[in-house]
Amino acid sequence: MAPEGLEGSLRRLIAECPIRLVVVDEAHCISHWGHDFRPAYRQLQDLKSLLGDIPVLALTATATRRVAGDIIRQLGMQKPAGFKGSFFRPNLRITVQKKGAGRESRQDILGIVRRRAGDCGIVYALSRKSVESLAEWLRRHGVRALPYHAGLSDGERARTQDAFARDELDVVVATVAFGMGIDKSNVRFVIHRDMPRSIEAWTQEIGRAGRDGLESDCVLLYSWADVIGYDAFLDEIEDPEIRGETRNKTVQMFRLADGRECRHQALARYFDEALAACATSCDVCRGEGIDLLIGSSRAPGLAKVARGSPHPPSPAVPALGAMEAAAFERLRALRRRLAEAEGVPAYIVFSDAVLRAMLVSRPRTPDALLRVPGVGPVKMARYGAAFIAALAEPSG
């Protein structure tokens, strides 16, 4: 449940239930020092006393050391065990481009979307007005795009989320209102038309790309004007210490974008993780800028560099040849039909990564299909025959 609902009669009902574990997702929202503080999360403070001394599990992908300490205090945890994974996701190919100097952000975004034809992604913008105008402009240029922001009706937002989940859209153009709870595995690109408010927010938002492990593009367009734009929201923060911390987070985000250090390395350091340069997964290490993404010549001023790294190369799958691409689209079309028949999002049938694995091994029998990672007995029984038949069709 959302913590906003944890009050009144519902709280009394929960107190009478035999609850054995409380799990707090997006736990950074409980801290004033987190990038997305939500006051309702403070209502979770007394759950341990309300329900008895039961275990509490707090989960977040974007907590600094300070925020993690605050989460522990707010939830009344006593010397909890801590588990921390790496922030490095080599399949996310980060590219950063400063706005201005003759560049047209809309054209850059359109170029990336067209280069990723057949894929779906998210474009984040700062204001509702920007979201609406960019979505409409993309539609005029042949892109299946819809806006998403808090000013739309519940029905409009639900229809957009549903169309996105079912691969019926190329792009959702959105404010930060779109994202929490989005678990679509085949988001192939996340573009920020405007710089996010903090490194935590940026990490959360690019983290929605490539959840199936395949290579995905994360493009950040930024300028100092974005920092100034966020200053207009600072007056809403009463506490001067929190107001100053919020401004500092935005400046740190700008400095990361404006720097020439490996993007993954800089991001990880912010969360207290030591990381070697990624070598292949960002514009700085690759020596390739946004112009390569949109099909133009290499960006001026970027020299090709080669850097050693102890990290394994990105697990990205090489670009498909013409016949393989046609076969992949055939499998995606089959997946879409099966998903529509069952009323579920397409990625619930099989992820893009599983479809590509099928193309590599070309299973012709149920036993062979079961050996493809991501295919289990239930999905084999439900979808196996259809995919085996599709894989047996001649290419070309």
Which residue carries 């057949």 as its tokens? 118
Q: Does the global pTM surpass 0.85?
A: no
Burial of 65 (0-12, 13-18, 19+ CB in 10 A): exposed
| Percentage of the chain modeled with pLDDT above 90 | 59
What pLDDT sits at residue 396? 57
pLDDT in tens, 267-319: 999 999 999 999 999 999 999 889 888 764 333 333 333 333 344 433 434 45
From the list 315, 317, 305, 312, the residue with the least C-alpha distance to 276 is 312
Tell me which DSSP letter residue 280 carries. Answer: S
What pLDDT sits at residue 321? 66
pLDDT in tens, 109-166: 999 999 998 899 999 999 999 999 999 999 999 999 999 999 999 999 999 998 998 8
Residue type (1 letter), 23: V
Mean pLDDT (whole number) for 79-100: 94
pLDDT in tens, 191-229: 999 999 999 999 999 999 999 999 999 999 999 999 999
- Rounded CA separation 128/133 (Å): 9
- Rounded CA separation 390/396 (Å): 13
Query: What domains lie within the chain, and their CATH numbers?
Result: 3-74 (no CATH), 92-293 (3.40.50.300), 322-392 (1.10.150.80)
- Rounded CA separation 12/299 (Å): 60
- Rounded CA separation 130/56 (Å): 40
Mean pLDDT (whole number) for 54-72: 91
